[in-house]
Amino acid sequence: MTAFSHPDDFAGQTQPLRAAAARVLQAVEDGQSLAQCLPLGHASITPQEKPELQALCYGTCRWYHRLDAELAQRLKKPLKKSDRVIHQLMLVALFQLRFSQQASYAVLNETVEACRALGKPHLTGLVNGILRAAEREGEPEPTEPAVIYSHPAWIVAKLRHNWPDHWQEILAANNTQAPMTLRVNADQGSREQYLQWLTDTGIEAKPTELAPWGIQLAKPVPVERLPGFGDGAVSVQDEAAQLCTTLLDLAPGQRVLDACAAPGGKTCAILEHCPELTEVVAIDQSAARLPRIRENLDRLCLSATLKEADAADTGQWWDGEPFDRILLDVPCSASGVIRRHPDIKLLRREADITPLAGIQLGLLESLWLTLKPGGRLVYATCSVFPQENHRIIQRFLRQQFDARLIGPEVSWGMDTGFGRQLLPDSQAHDGFFYSVLERSTQAPGPPIKNV
């Protein structure tokens, strides 16, 4: 059973913040994402406590594997499954002892109180004893990379294998807090004008290095504080994600497909970048996520044709008219955005990657047939695993005789031979992969690139 089997579980009773955090973390361990279960945790705390609940849950997920290794050493035997929420509660307390400025006496007292609030008064002695020892003795020196960098062992092994010269840098970047980055709506003004507007509002910011419309804030702020946000002056979007529009080489009159579109960040970027497109068709398989595209379009006063469908099943949604441009931002492991979604460390399994690669190749094969000869497809992932990135393109080019690799021809990222890889940069963009393919105007013959 998940910690939040019903949204009313905690509603109406005010619970200590730590108890709510422990229950959210239990739900994550049971397979729910932080985005899904944090709002349920809000039911039991005061509105003022929401940012703190978020900080506790994100921080504990970020350092979960390291904290868990310490707790495992301190517990003589694991807690019973029915008491597992107290394991999460102690991880939250350890997170505060090791990674926050919170006074340790407050952490100890409030954790014991939360233990009672969670209906486990018989465990208060154990919790108190473990946390007192942790405070007194300090953190044991971690030696294993999976513990030092707080990642599941399979991710460490995979990164080490795939990126022998960069794996530590990737793991370290995954543990940093991502910057808040904006995309300026060029229709409403220049990047320089918006930077000035931010300065006038007292918000420190600088232009992004790679994305021409990007602005990186020195500190995150609530979007309501961003000048003109409600009127569509800017959107929140990572710098790497913004790069898709330049790679698509958009021009007036084109028909564009955004095949895996929700929540619509890139759909909106495409429409802002080239308002004179004939049509943008935005598809997503998830009925729950599709309304997010509509909300984003509405705020920016943009319009697109939205379809709820499995993009790979073209018989279900395609009218037979080919597209000049296709953006294929496939579902992936999200291993390039772990710093934004630290719950990925708990939710993703090694066994997920091969099936994901199958879905990615399947989408590419199906959508290729909807691309106009001479048209261009941009393949994108927020992954750093080659299995989902350049190896998909390599496999595709081996079999698709009318496909040609044409880019990205850019200086950023690393050349993989089949596209460019950006690794997560603690000072800037997320981890991302892009490949640009062109469909030949000739009838299909032998492969164009000898792979």
Ligand X SMILES: C[S@@+](CC[C@H](N)C(=O)[O-])C[C@H]1O[C@@H](n2cnc3c(N)ncnc32)[C@H](O)[C@@H]1O
Name the residues annotated as catalytic. Answer: 382
**Residue with Cβ nearer ligand X (117 or 270):** 270
Interaction pattern, residues 208-247, with ligand X; x per rule: CB under 6 A: ---------------------------------x------
CA atoms within 13 A on the CB side of 105: 0
According to CB under 6 A, which one of 24, 260, 281, 422 is a site residue for ligand X?
260
The residue count of the chain comes to 451
- Within 352-411, the residues that bind ligand X by CB under 6 A are 363
Work out which of 240, 261, 274, 392 binds ligand X, going by CB under 6 A: 261
Taking the C-alpha atoms of residue 256 and residue 282, their distance in angstroms, rounded to an integer, is: 9
CB of 91 to ligand X, least distance (A): 29
* Cα–Cα distance measured from residue 257 to residue 66, given in angstroms and rounded to the nearest whole number: 43
414-443 residues in contact with ligand X (CB under 6 A) are none
Considering the complex, what minimum distance in angstroms separates the CB of residue 126 from ligand X?
A: 42
Q: The dihedral of CA 152, 238, 438, 370: what is its sign? A: positive
Paired residues of 205 in beta bridges: 217
Q: Any contact of residue 331 with ligand X (CB under 6 A)?
A: yes
Both tokens of 129, joined, read: 């004893």
Task: Note whether 92 binds ligand X by CB under 6 A.
Answer: no
- Of residues 409, 414, 407, 411, the one with CA closest to residue 432: 414
What minimum distance in Å lies between the beta carbon of 434 and ligand X?
13
Pick from 266, 339, 390, 420 the residue near ligand X by CB under 6 A.
266
Distance CA 437, CA 171 (A): 30
Q: Which of 262, 274, 306, 423 binds ligand X (CB under 6 A)?
A: 262
In contact, 153 and 146? CB cutoff 8 Å: yes
The contacts of residue 77 (CB under 8 Å, 6+ apart) are: none
CA 209, CA 412: separation in Å to the nearest integer? Answer: 10
Q: Which is nearer to ligand X, 67 or 260 (CB)?
A: 260
**Range 270-289, binding ligand X (CB under 6 A):** 283-286, 289
Interaction between residue 145 and ligand X (CB under 6 A): no
Three-class DSSP labels, 341-371: CCCHHHHCCHHHHHHHHHHHHHHHHHHHCCE
Which residue is nearest to ligand X, using beta carbons?
A: 260
Q: What residues make contact with ligand X under the rule CB under 6 A? A: 241, 260-266, 283-286, 289, 310-312, 329, 331, 363
